[in-house]
Structure 1
Amino acid sequence: MKKFMTVFIAMIYMVLLTNCSNDGKKPDTLVTENLAPVAVEKTNKTKIYMHYMTWFETNESSPDHKWGYHWTMANKNPNTINANGQRDIASHYYPLIGPYHSGDKEVIENHLLLMKYAGIDGLLIDWYGTYNVNDYAMIKENTEQLIAMLDKVGLEYAIVYEDRFLGNIVQAGLAPTTVSAAKTDFSYLQSNYFKDANYIKINDKPLLLNFGPITLTTPAEWTSALSNLSPKPTFLTLWNESADAGVNASGEYAWVYKNSTYLTDFYKNNLPKLSVAMGSAYPGFNDYYAQGGGGTSIGWTIDHKNGATLDETLALSKTANVNYLQLITWNDFGEGTMFEPTKEFGYSYIEKVKAFAGVQKTGSVFAEISKLYNLRKEKKGDAAIQKKLDTVFGYFVSMQPEKAVQLLKEI
């Protein structure tokens, strides 16, 4: 036993000696830092959530090497690159990082860090369910890639359920009725999402939004669709649609439509009557459906007004003193409602959100977060650089932006 202890102590000594520099100090590799996510300090107590789309696909991510519909619609070809180095996409606006795959880890990292430093508390993820019809399976897979990183960044999430396409499930022979299809989707949510520690809860129940109702339009249908859930979710419909869900609805959320008078009416007439109400703010609306051959134009636009539209809708939510605010949207490029940084607007929209949220002690790091993304892509095959970039990510999520920026300068 004594011999064993002597050998053991000698081994420890050799490890320490090996890991010491000539001046006797331990190198940085021995220093363990706490890089767990830390919440952003902000003065505005409103819960700020971002509506998020996970439906984008590139020719590199697609099994058939084709760009997804939301970049192409019917007549755009992202393989065509113009004189400015931009791909031909179905949008009036161009993402600062270029068109992307929603399941790309580096893209998700970039989006979530930008949102975190803008003071956003969580994401409301547009979700089409569990069935393998059209691109729904891809959207579900991308959603789960996103969810996997949310807790690493320290952000919450909830689901916005699209019931409008339930008829497609029945037509494909995958479910006998639209209600049974919805019931299957909700059981999946309960088993896989609702129990997550970072799933948004309101009144101690998981938050579930519905973009409608559009297909299930009676209280009886919703009672049946939600019957297997326990506890019942805090269920919000679109503004003025809660009667379709009856007692199943806990409230409503505002959206974007024509002009701000609809928001003003919601705050004045709906909000006082609702148990739970969620306001909205948006930078503008300018759809690309007609130009992209994706259908007729919606028929109205909301001018971005160089940020004045966003200023106005944020101010309306502040006057209404809403507890919950949904930003519409991070990345619906087809409708031109994106907060995501673009070639046209830069970081201006998330800078406005940051000011509205009252974010403290972070400095201005949006450009550095983009630098992290660019280096991730440029040095993709360099394991040593990627390890350093992992540390940069850790500094950002643990609210040590100065260290993150300094390390970026050294790479």
Structure 2
Amino acid sequence: MKNYIKLLVFGLMNIVMVAGCSNDDKSSDKPLEPEKIEPVSVEKTNSTKIYMHYMPWFETKESSTDKKWGYHWTMANKNPDNVGANGRREIASYYYPLIGPYHSGDKNVIENHLLLMKYAGIDGVLIDWYGTYDVNDYRMVKENTEQLIDMLDEVGLEYAIVYEDRFLTNVVNAGKAISVTGAAKTDLAYVQKNYFSDANYIKINGKPLLMNFGPIVLQTPAEWTNVFNTLTEKPTFLTLWDQSIEAGANASGEYAWVYKNSTYLTNFYTNTKPKLNITMGAAYPGFKDFYVEGGGGGAIGWTIEHNNGTTLDETLSLAKNAAVDYLQLITWNDFGEGTMFEPTVEFGYSYIEKVKAFAGVKNTENVFSDISRLYELRVQKKGNIEIQKKLDQAFNYFVSMQTAKAKQLLSEIK
């Protein structure tokens, strides 16, 4: 009888323990944390380093402190709150982003952009950067830049800064700095401290790459020497084409840009490239600015038609024939000037498909639409923690080149 009671008690204890475990399981019935996977590089046959010029300057009503759409969507006379019969917002561009107008600091947008670039065979991002001062929208650009940088190493892409010295005069006029060289010293000291030391910051000849869109304000070698004297490590410094004379011995080389027609590229490769230690080529899909129509300033005065992709084909071919070691794609998202590689309603994924072919990406599987699907689900399921965790896992599969797993996971989410 005692043995029977002991067995009965033991059985009841087991039931309680099992029930307790079950309750614990229910209380911890939380979404599984996504498996963290290190990024895997895209395999490609073209050894050219391919970089994308990137504008981190877009704001939406939700992201801005004054609850207004940013200038680069509106210019002077467009209102994205106006939605047409086609469902598109009114923006200051002839072209419309496939994901619609966005905030550059939105992590879902950054995720979408960087994954598309990765699978197109792009090695890194060249970030258009206005400095550190809280003048006009420069602070917003800096904050958006750092949101971008935070995700770059997760995706497995490099980056470098393209410094806009043209805004230094505005900083001085706003009373934020005593001189333009003083402001530049502050900016570049920040770049050195916060960016140069990153493992995924682009290095050329063992030194961090720094590019300048100009020079525009600092136009003498003495000024650049003064600015660089505050740095413990002199960068590999590239100016805009035909402008390195203004930086003198501080310049390591030059990079090409978009201008009027492809003969300027041909001339740069034929006549300037042989004289430079470092040359960065350029490729672009076209140029059609919106400034006059958007009330954003005077006309640039010239247009380069997109020609159904043949302009991009031509500029990529010129870069290939010139055997450049480094190529800058102009640009990911300057919608105001119509130079965007970012997928649009008008051109779809065709431009990044061409880059993918140029890069010789070995994985020929088409995943661009699946990456867009990831973005759509991020937006649609914004408040659903469980689904967002699954989407985090899909992102991790994408960065580690496990596309079949990523696609399967996306297909399971309704």
Question: Which residue is equivalent to 2:351?
Answer: 349
CA offset at residue 34 of structure 1? 6.0
Question: Which residue is equivalent to 1:106?
Answer: 108
Out of 348, 366, 380, the position equivalent to 2:382 is: 380
CA offset at residue 231 of structure 1? 1.5
User: Residue type matched to 1:295 in 2?
Assistant: G
* Alpha-carbon distance between aligned partners in 2 of 1:143 and 1:362, rounded to the nearest angstrom: 31
Question: Which residue is equivalent to 1:200?
Answer: 202
Q: Deviations over 1:228-251 (max 9, x none)?
A: 112100000000000000000000
1:135 aligns to 2:137 (yes or no) = yes
User: Residue type matched to 2:198 in 1?
Assistant: D
Out of 79, 88, 91, the position equivalent to 1:89 is: 91
Question: Which residue is equivalent to 1:157?
Answer: 159
Question: Which residue is equivalent to 1:328?
Answer: 330
1:266 aligns to 2:268 (yes or no) = yes
Kindly report which structure 2 residues correspond to 1:219-258, keeping only aligned pairs within 5 A, or say none.
219-258=221-260
Q: Percent identity?
A: 73
CA offset at residue 33 of structure 1? 5.5
* Alpha-carbon distance between aligned partners in 1 of 2:147 and 2:33, rounded to the nearest angstrom: 31
Secondary structure of 1:49's match?
strand
* Alpha-carbon distance between aligned partners in 1 of 2:46 and 2:214, rounded to the nearest angstrom: 29
* Alpha-carbon distance between aligned partners in 2 of 1:351 and 1:83, rounded to the nearest angstrom: 30
Secondary structure of 2:127's match?
strand
Q: Is the 8 A contact 1:117 1:362 kept in 2?
A: no
* Alpha-carbon distance between aligned partners in 1 of 2:196 and 2:34, rounded to the nearest angstrom: 33
1:316 aligns to 2:325 (yes or no) = no
Question: Which residue is equivalent to 1:397?
Answer: 399
* Alpha-carbon distance between aligned partners in 2 of 1:31 and 1:164, rounded to the nearest angstrom: 46
* Alpha-carbon distance between aligned partners in 2 of 1:362 and 1:231, rounded to the nearest angstrom: 41
User: Residue type matched to 2:236 in 1?
Assistant: T
Query: Which structure 1 residue ranges, 4+ long, deviate > 4 Å from structure 2?
Result: 29-34
Out of 43, 46, 51, the position equivalent to 2:45 is: 43
User: Residue type matched to 1:397 in 2?
Assistant: V
* Alpha-carbon distance between aligned partners in 2 of 1:54 and 1:358, rounded to the nearest angstrom: 28
CA pair 233-377 structure 1, distance change in 2 beyond 3 A:
same
Q: Deviations over 1:134-156 (max 9, x none)?
A: 00000000000000000000000
* Alpha-carbon distance between aligned partners in 2 of 1:193 and 1:318, rounded to the nearest angstrom: 30
* Alpha-carbon distance between aligned partners in 1 of 2:240 and 2:317, rounded to the nearest angstrom: 21
Kindly report which structure 2 residues correspond to 1:284-323, keeping only aligned pairs within 5 A, or say none.
284-323=286-325
- Gapped regions of structure 1 (runs ≥ 5): 1-9, 22-28
Q: Deviations over 1:173-214 (max 9, x none)?
A: 111110000010000000000000000000000000000001
Q: Is the 8 A contact 2:33 2:389 kept in 1?
A: no
* Alpha-carbon distance between aligned partners in 2 of 1:247 and 1:292, rounded to the nearest angstrom: 41
User: Residue type matched to 2:121 in 1?
Assistant: G
User: Residue type matched to 2:58 in 1?
Assistant: F
* Alpha-carbon distance between aligned partners in 2 of 1:345 and 1:99, rounded to the nearest angstrom: 16
User: Residue type matched to 1:179 in 2?
Assistant: T
CA offset at residue 361 of structure 1? 2.1
User: Residue type matched to 1:113 in 2?
Assistant: L
* Alpha-carbon distance between aligned partners in 2 of 1:271 and 1:30, rounded to the nearest angstrom: 54
Q: Is the 8 A contact 1:362 1:401 kept in 2?
A: no
Q: Deviations over 1:261-291 (max 9, x none)?
A: 0000000011111111000000000000000
Question: Which residue is equivalent to 1:115?
Answer: 117
User: Residue type matched to 1:168 in 2?
Assistant: N
Aligned length: 392
CA pair 34-107 structure 1, distance change in 2 beyond 3 A:
closer
* Alpha-carbon distance between aligned partners in 1 of 2:35 and 2:370, rounded to the nearest angstrom: 21
CA offset at residue 35 of structure 1? 1.7
1:176 aligns to 2:178 (yes or no) = yes
CA pair 137-30 structure 1, distance change in 2 beyond 3 A:
closer
CA offset at residue 303 of structure 1? 0.4
* Alpha-carbon distance between aligned partners in 2 of 1:403 and 1:269, rounded to the nearest angstrom: 49
Output the TM-score relative to the length of structure 1: 0.93
Secondary structure of 1:316's match?
helix
User: Residue type matched to 1:188 in 2?
Assistant: Y
Output the TM-score relative to the length of structure 2: 0.92
Larger radius of gyration: 2
Q: Is the 8 A contact 2:97 2:343 kept in 1?
A: yes
User: Residue type matched to 1:321 in 2?
Assistant: A
* Alpha-carbon distance between aligned partners in 2 of 1:32 and 1:191, rounded to the nearest angstrom: 32
- Gapped regions of structure 2 (runs ≥ 5): 1-13, 26-30
* Alpha-carbon distance between aligned partners in 2 of 1:100 and 1:199, rounded to the nearest angstrom: 26
Q: Deviations over 1:118-174 (max 9, x none)?
A: 000000000000000000000000000000000000000000000011100110111
CA offset at residue 72 of structure 1? 0.3
Secondary structure of 1:180's match?
helix
